[in-house]
Amino acid sequence: MHQGMMALYSGYTGLALFMIYDLSHPFSGAMQIGPDALLASLQIIRSGL
């Protein structure tokens, strides 16, 4: 029972660390977003609102 609980905890911890790493780099990797919205906002800011 102890080994099973430790395996589940290890899997959960590994998944959490992977998600933290993957989501901290939103413009690269398997789950990526495009910079289109950021570029549009930057263009609005530069135009003087």
Q: Are 33 and 27 in contact (CB under 8 A)?
A: yes
The predicted model gives 30-42 an average pLDDT of 84
Band of pLDDT at residue 23, cut at 50, 70 and 90: confident
Res. 27: pLDDT tops 80: no
pLDDT at 32 over 70: yes
Residue 18 confidence (pLDDT): 92
Q: Would you state the pLDDT for residue 49?
A: 67
Give the pTM: 0.55
Structural domain spans, the chain: 1-25
CA distance to 12, 30, 33, 35, per residue, from 15 (Å)? 5, 15, 21, 26
